[in-house]
Amino acid sequence: MSNSSPLNGKRIVLGVGGGIAAYKSVELLRQLVDRGAFVSPVLTQSSLRFVGETTFSALGSERARTSLWEGDDPIPHTLLGQRADVIVVSPATADLIAKYAAGIADDLLTTTLVATNAPVVMVAAMHTEMWQHPSVVENIATLRRRGVIVIEPESGRLAGGDIGVGRLATAERVVTTVEGLFSRADKRELLSGKRVLVTAGGTREAIDPVRYIGNRSSGKQGIAFAEVAADFGAEVTLVSTVPVTEGLAIKVIEVESAQEMFDAVFALADESDLVVMAAAVADFRSKLISPTKIKKKNGAPQIVLEPTPDILAGLGSAKRKNQVIVGFAAETGDPETEARRKLRDKNADFVVANNVLEPDAGFAVDTNRVTLVYGDSMVSLALSDKRDIASRILSFVAEWAFKQSVWSE
């Protein structure tokens, strides 16, 4: 396993925060080492209340460190920070997240975080109320703006028997994310010089100034496509119905309705080499929009629907030579059959199909399980982080396009 993993030979600092989920980082450590990584465990003093230093020393590539002041090295944080290919903090508690966001360096782990230029992955875990607290939300946003990768907690059983969001992500999910960092690093030129247009989120079709027809799409998969396309060297424009922090390599256009998305997409489509239609566009809208709030006392309104513009079909009919179009089929029945229909009827090159009723693969979650349909073939991608799904699909699409000389001059 280790020889085939992108982590083979990589130096990883595994920071362990002081939360009950610290015990799960033992399994993460084992999986990273199994993949050939040289892992240096760094435990906070708080973490030692939950796990033992000996366990991490025994399973790590070198003994676990717990203090700035131990051993012969007067500046261990500098050594760790400079040598690391990536730093993974698991669990990243609310306290650790706050310190890192503020630049506080008062122990070995936080000084190492401040003393590195390596990528940092924070695997968040805490109680639901803490994860939703405004200060934590703001700190997470700050870290993401700085390029830190935050793996959000999952839903499930928490300490004390509560159920909610806050559970530490699985070791498999963390390893997949870290491996993706290095596999993407090998593909930084894959879309170099290409203009990529991505759509994300669910449209909102107004009924009155207050209410709308919408869907459950969070935009996470579409945003992941935009981020990965930028990682691959593309010039990226993201048309999104959800707020996005605009990165240096991504131009963001915010829209709300299907018509607004249609207008934004077709203003850019002709100059785009690759269009990824990841947004969940409403199929229908209210034919009449009330200028004032519809009152309950007047009884149930009769809402007459009309079709929204079909963006994917429009792109397919106007597709120019050397342009590649990727559509999506988020279904509840037979996604592959619907994907093949879209591929045929809408003149797309690829359609990404998924069943939104499957666990951990629907709307508003960080993972997905999809099938990529193209020509007479299809490729199934197992459950993985949405960013990894985007990376694998864009790699396949780009390599296919070049192989077929789709983008040759």
Shared domain for 233 and 162, answered yes or no, is no
pLDDT of residue 406: 57
DSSP 290: -
Residue that is written with structure tokens 């093949």 in the block: 340
Q: Does any domain span residue 176?
A: yes
CA distances from 166 to 153, 337, 353 (A): 5, 36, 29
Q: Is 238 helix (H, G, I), strand (E, B) or coil?
A: strand
Can you tell me the mean pLDDT for 42-54? 96
pLDDT at 48 over 50: yes
pLDDT of residue 2: 41
Q: Is 72 helix (H, G, I), strand (E, B) or coil?
A: coil
- Could you give the CA distance from residue 32 to residue 11 in angstroms, rounded to a whole number? 10
Amino acid (1-letter code) at residue 254: E
pLDDT band at 316 (very low <50, low <70, confident <90, very high): very high
Among residues 20, 66, 14, the alpha carbon closest in space to that of 38 is found at 14
Shared domain for 101 and 240, answered yes or no, is no
Please identify every residue annotated as catalytic.
215
What predicted TM-score, i.e. pTM, was given to this entire model? 0.66
Domain boundary among 163, 184, 205: 184
Shared domain for 8 and 50, answered yes or no, is yes
Q: Is 253 helix (H, G, I), strand (E, B) or coil?
A: strand
β-strand 205-206 against 195-200: which pairing, if any?
A: unpaired
Shared domain for 259 and 348, answered yes or no, is yes
- Could you give the CA distance from residue 308 to residue 303 in angstroms, rounded to a whole number? 15
Total domains present in the chain? 2
Which element (helix H / strand E) includes 236? Answer: strand 235-240
Shared domain for 231 and 316, answered yes or no, is yes
- Could you give the CA distance from residue 127 to residue 44 in angstroms, rounded to a whole number? 19
Can you tell me the mean pLDDT for 173-192? 80
pLDDT at 367 over 80: yes
Shared domain for 303 and 363, answered yes or no, is yes
pLDDT at 399 over 80: yes
Can you tell me the mean pLDDT for 87-105? 96
Shared domain for 332 and 295, answered yes or no, is yes
Shared domain for 32 and 49, answered yes or no, is yes
Instruction: Kindly report the backbone phi and psi dihedral angles of residue 283, in degrees, each rounded to the nearest multiple of 5, phi listed first.
Output: -80, -25
Can you tell me the mean pLDDT for 33-56? 96
Q: Does any domain span residue 367?
A: yes
Can you tell me the mean pLDDT for 129-143? 92
CATH of the domain at 341: 3.40.50.10300
Q: Does any domain span residue 409?
A: no
Average pLDDT in the chain? 90
Shared domain for 98 and 36, answered yes or no, is yes
- Tell me how many degrees the CA angle 241-390-188 measures, rounded to the nearest 5: 110
pLDDT at 408 over 70: no
pLDDT at 163 over 50: yes
Do 274 and 196 touch, CB atoms closer than 8 A?
yes
Among residues 134, 138, 174, the alpha carbon closest in space to that of 153 is found at 174
Do 37 and 12 touch, CB atoms closer than 8 A?
yes
Shared domain for 194 and 314, answered yes or no, is yes
Q: Does any domain span residue 302?
A: yes
Q: Is 82 helix (H, G, I), strand (E, B) or coil?
A: helix
Can you tell me the mean pLDDT for 137-154? 88
Can you tell me the mean pLDDT for 80-106? 95
- Could you give the CA distance from residue 312 to residue 37 in angstroms, rounded to a whole number? 43
pLDDT band at 72 (very low <50, low <70, confident <90, very high): low
6 compared with 286, residue with greater pLDDT:
286
Shared domain for 179 and 195, answered yes or no, is no
Contacts of 167 (CB under 8 A, 6+ apart): 21, 125, 153, 154, 155, 156, 157, 158
Domain boundary among 184, 218, 245: 184
pLDDT at 68 over 90: no
pLDDT at 247 over 70: no
Q: Which domain holds residue 368?
A: 189-403
CATH of the domain at 27: 3.40.50.1950
Shared domain for 203 and 121, answered yes or no, is no
Query: Would you state the structure tokens that stand for residue 180, as one six-digit string?
Result: 């993706």
pLDDT at 405 over 70: no
Domain boundary among 139, 167, 184: 184
Which element (helix H / strand E) includes 179? Answer: helix 171-185
Amino acid (1-letter code) at residue 137: V
pLDDT of residue 75: 73
Q: Does any domain span residue 408?
A: no
pLDDT of residue 1: 43
Give yes or no for a cis peptide into 91 (omega within 30° of 0). Answer: yes
Q: Does any domain span residue 246?
A: yes
pLDDT of residue 74: 63
pLDDT of residue 333: 83
Amino acid (1-letter code) at residue 164: G
